[in-house]
Structure formats: C-alpha cells, structure tokens
Amino acid sequence: MTERLSPAERTAALESLLVERELVDPSVMDGFIGRYERDVGPMNGARVVATAWTDPSYLEWLRKDATAAIADLGFSGPQGEHMVVLEQTDEVHHVVVCTLCSCYPWPVLGLPPSWYKDPAYRSRVVREPRAVLAEMGCPLPDDVGIQVWDSSAEVRYLVVPQRPAGTEELGVDELAPLVTRDAMVGVARL
C-alpha cells in the first residue's frame, strides 16, 4: 500500500516538477503566493469589519454601499464588484453559501476554503443550517433566527460579526486580528 501524501507535500512535489521542467518560474510562483498571503485574504475583510466597529459613519456607508466603502479601504477587484454586508445581531445569525458553485468575495476574504466549495456544505447549509453550523463549531440558541444568503456572480456577501464584549477601547489595528474568515462567512462567532 502506498502512503498518501499530504496536500502540502503534493503541492511541493508538483511545484518541483513544474520548476524542474521550466514550466513555471519560481519567482512568479512566490509572487502569487505572497500576493494572496499579504494583499488578498481574510485580513482585508477583518480590516473592513474593525473599521465598521470603530467608525459609525463608515458602518453606515458600508450598509448603504458596501462595494464603494470596501474599495475606499483599497479592497476591490474581481469577485468583489458588488458587495453587500450582513450584520450579526442577538436575534439573527447570517450565513453565506453559493449553492451553484463557489462565488466568494476574494478581495476581502481571499480564496475560498475547501469546505465552502464542498457540495455537502452547499446543499446542507440551505436545508439544515442550524445542524451544519453546530457541526462546524457554531451552535446557536433556538431563539436565534438564521438567514442563509446565496452568493452569485452578481453579488457577494461579507458578514460583519458582533463586536466582542470588552473591546470598546481597542482601535482598528487591535481589533482586526480578532476577526476570523469563518466569522465573516457566518460559520463562526467571535
């Protein structure tokens, strides 16, 4: 029986073969990886959320025109052309899915996680969101309603989680690291 390689090992082996055969320039690969690590990813969405938590006028703008408000912070581009924000409350919990494929707001969340693209998540979260959320570590009380939002080629969603208690004195730079990708999709709470 052959031993199965981890995804990281398979990726490294594939990259090695592509470089060896001169099909890929390693510096180009490093540039792409760096861009997604530094410039495109959940840290962008976290900055949007932290700004909304600390600046009421920005939050109001985000509610009215999320695309423009997010672009004002420097986060725009493909997969982020039409953004809508959803705010978590004590009464309603929002969760995002793309039932047709995996439409995802790349400028603010980076690449979609594998579970987001999984057909089981895509179908089950619509039919039984409370059970799926509980399985993902986000159990909700029965008195909290759940709204499932279906992303599409026309609109992408960003969930603004509730600000954690005791963070009233923190600024954007201290708040942003508290915000997780999963909370901005609605499968986790802070």
* Catalytic positions, written as ranges: 98, 101-103
CA gyration radius for the chain? 18
The HSE-up count of residue 7 (CA atoms within 13 Å, CB side) is: 1
Terminal Cα-to-Cα distance of the chain (whole angstroms):
43
Is the torsion defined by CA of 13, 19, 24, 27 positive or negative? positive
Return the exposure string of 117-147: e unless at least 16 CB atoms fall within 10 Å of the residue's CB, then b.
eeeebbeebeeebbebbeebebeeeeebebe
Greatest extent of the chain over all pairs of C-alpha atoms, in Å: 61
